[in-house]
Structures are given as C-alpha cells and as structure tokens.
C-alpha cells in the first residue's frame, strides 16, 4: 500500500494506491467527510456488475446510503445529455452541497461524474475510484473534468479537484489487454516528459507490467501519480508547465474526434500523437533519431499504434488540431520531446512538416 499527496492548499488530497481499497471505500470517504449520510455513485453497467456490490456494502457499513447513477459505457457517451441525466437523478434524490458524487470506473465515468460534481449546485464533493490503468495513472488525478462536443474532445469542462482518490490495483485484473495497452500509453508518456530513469525501467519491465506483476503495477501507478502530482502542484490550471502533460494529445485528440470517439481508445490515440510529435522533433533537429526509435520501440512492444491511419484526411486532421484547447491566437501548439525525459512547447509549426510526420 502506498499513497501520493497532492498539495494544493485547501484543495489538497491523497491518492491511495493498493489492493482491497474498494472494501475500505466507505471508511476512507467517512474520514474525509465525517458527517455525510448519503452519496451518489456514478458508474457504468460493466463496472457496476463487477464492483458495485462491494463499494455499496462498504458505504453502507460506514453509515452512508448509496444512490446509483448508471451511465452507458463508451467515450461516445461522454456528453452533456448524459450529464443532464445525472443532474436529474441528483435533483430527484435531493442531493445537497455536502453530498459527494463518487466516480466508480474508468476515464469516461470519472470525467462525467467530475463534470457533474463541478456544476451541480455550483459544486458538490467529488471522489474518484478509478478502475482502469489509464484512469489510475492519469485521468483521476489533477482535477480535469469534461464532456465532449461533436466538434471536439473535452471542450466543455472545468478544473475541479477530487477530495480523495482510491486506486485499487485489484480492479486491473478484469481489464482486457487492449485496455491495459491504452493505459500503458499514458505511463510511457510520463517517462518521456519527465523521467528518463523511469522510461528505462519500463523498457526492462514492460512484459511484467502487461502480465500485471503486483510489485511492478504498484510502482507504475505510484510513480506515474507522483510525476503528475508534481506537475499539477506547480501549475494546477494549465497556465504553463502543466501543458507538458498534453504530450501526444494534439494529434491524439484530433484522431479521436475524426473517428467519432468509438474507433480508438484514448491511450491508443495518444500513442499515435506521441510518435508523430517525436518525428516532428527529429525533423526539426531537436531529437536524436535513436531517442525517437526508443520511444517507437516501446510503444510497439506495448502493442500500441504509432501512425495515423491513411484513411484520415490530413487537412481534416490539421483543422481539428486548430480547435485544440492549447491553440492560442490560431497558433498550433505542440509538446515535442528534446530527449527521453525532457520536452518543450513549440508554436507556429509549418503545416507541411506536421503532415509529413503523421
């Protein structure tokens, strides 16, 4: 069992990492909110069937009456219309400003539940119980909550920190290999943006990770959360340094958007974006070809894609990138690696260069 503390003043919180946390969820939440008597659990049918009973029992044992808000499973359902359904249930159940909304699931559940928590009654307490690798190492940490719009990914959202995060590693055992690979993409990202030593460790331990070796997985989640916590503590609302966490996301979000959110998992699209950004950096003379090859080799070993499908129109991709949240004054912004463990922000890249690297 380990923990990571995110120091954000009055918005500080702890990420608990280990096994058996679902059974302790009620007790942990009660320590944060000792006077609550009820909570709303947002989840999807798959996660509910696997873990809902255990979490609900834990809440009840702690004297918390749980209410269920079940949402459809899939990125295509991360929409305002689904958030409105959560509002309806919250209103009917008479949730007040002290009643927490608990996200039990992966990134879609966490983003939706967090968006609902940030906006219902101008903000109610929010708890994250992530059940996928991607959610445990990335989306549950740092307070970004959002829904998608037909014109772009995550363009309706807020910064809203959870009060506590519980990453129960035992939930990873029910993930299929594709979901594990998607999560590993974000793990690899942390090595590239901030920690060459961690990247090298991943090169040595990737197969053990994909086989879900207990010690390896706990280290992966803990180190990833520590790296992200350090960045978020320095720049909570992405005014500067936090933008490095978007490495791979400029191209990745465009790929997701143009394929209707149902073809690529988020981590898969990010892998495509990271490889593209590395090729851009190499062509600019900033990244050594051997470093680019290290990244592509590790992505390939993890079973992740490294190129944009030829079926996607390059002009449409550029157009989608121009609607990215990082665009300022119509200037395309990319996070590109200078070496494994170090990245930089670049703006006003030549479109021809970008297209040649997709």
Residue tagged active-site, from 253, 279, 292, 294:
253
Three-state SS at 18:
strand
Active-site residue flag, 205: no
Q: Which residues contact 146 (CB under 8 A, 6 or more apart)?
A: 78, 111, 115, 154, 155, 156, 157, 158
Residue tagged active-site, from 246, 294, 296, 326:
246
Dist. CA 27–CA 5, nearest whole Å: 18
Active-site residue flag, 331: no
Residue tagged active-site, from 186, 268, 282, 296:
186
Q: Which residues contact 34 (CB under 8 A, 6 or more apart)?
A: none
Active-site residue flag, 246: yes
Residue tagged active-site, from 78, 181, 249, 279:
249
Residue tagged active-site, from 75, 179, 238, 296:
238
Active-site residue flag, 173: no
Residue tagged active-site, from 16, 44, 75, 144:
144
Question: What DSSP state is assigned to residue 172?
Answer: G
Q: If you search the block for the tokens 């302790």, which residue do you land on?
A: 24
Residue tagged active-site, from 16, 181, 265, 266:
266
Dist. CA 221–CA 23, nearest whole Å: 20
Contact 245, 231 (CB under 8 A): yes
Active-site residue flag, 75: no
**Token representation of residue 67:** 């209410």
Residue tagged active-site, from 78, 189, 242, 265:
242
Active-site residue flag, 30: no
Active-site residue flag, 19: no
Q: How many CA atoms lie within 13 A of 206 on its CB side?
A: 21
Active-site residue flag, 16: no
Containing 149, the helix (H) or strand (E) segment is strand 144-149
- Catalytic amino acids? 122, 144, 186, 228, 238, 242, 246, 249, 253, 266
């Amino acid at each position: 069992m380990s923990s990571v503390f995110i120091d954000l003043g009055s918005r500080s919180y702890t990420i608990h990492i280990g096994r058996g946390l679902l059974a302790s969820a009620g007790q942990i939440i009660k320590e944060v909110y000792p006077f609550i008597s009820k909570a709303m659990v947002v989840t999807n049918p798959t996660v509910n069937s696997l873990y809902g009973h255990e979490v609900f029992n834990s809440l009840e044992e702690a004297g918390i009456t749980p209410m269920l808000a079940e949402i459809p499973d899939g990125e295509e359902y991360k929409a305002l219309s689904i958030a409105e359904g959560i509002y309806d249930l919250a209103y009917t159940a008479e949730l007040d400003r002290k009643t927490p909304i608990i996200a039990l699931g992966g990134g879609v559940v966490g983003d939706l539940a967090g968006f609902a928590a940030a906006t219902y009654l101008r903000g109610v307490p929010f708890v994250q119980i992530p059940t996928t690798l991607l959610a445990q190492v990335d989306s549950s940490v740092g307070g970004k909550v959002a829904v998608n719009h037909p014109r772009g990914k995550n363009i309706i959202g807020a910064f809203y920190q959870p009060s506590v995060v519980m990453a129960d590693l035992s939930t990873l055992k029910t993930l299929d290999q594709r979901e594990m690979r998607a999560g590993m993409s974000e793990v690899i990202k942390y090595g590239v943006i901030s920690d060459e030593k961690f990247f090298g460790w991943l090169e040595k331990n990737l197969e053990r990770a994909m086989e879900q070796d207990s010690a390896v997985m706990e280290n992966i989640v803990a180190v990833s959360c520590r790296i992200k916590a350090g960045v978020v503590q320095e720049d909570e609302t992405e005014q500067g340094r936090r933008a490095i966490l978007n490495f791979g996301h400029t191209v990745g979000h465009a790929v997701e958007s143009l394929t209707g959110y149902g073809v690529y998992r988020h981590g898969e699209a990010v892998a495509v974006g990271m490889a593209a950004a590395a090729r851009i950096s190499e062509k600019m003379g900033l990244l050594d070809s051997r470093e680019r090859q290290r990244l592509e080799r590790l992505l390939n070993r993890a079973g992740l894609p490294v190129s944009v499908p030829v079926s996607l129109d390059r002009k449409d991709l550029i157009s989608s990138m121009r609607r990215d949240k990082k665009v300022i004054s119509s200037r395309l912004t990319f996070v590109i690696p200078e070496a494994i463990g170090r990245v930089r922000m670049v703006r006003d890249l030549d479109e021809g260069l970008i297209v040649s690297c997709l």
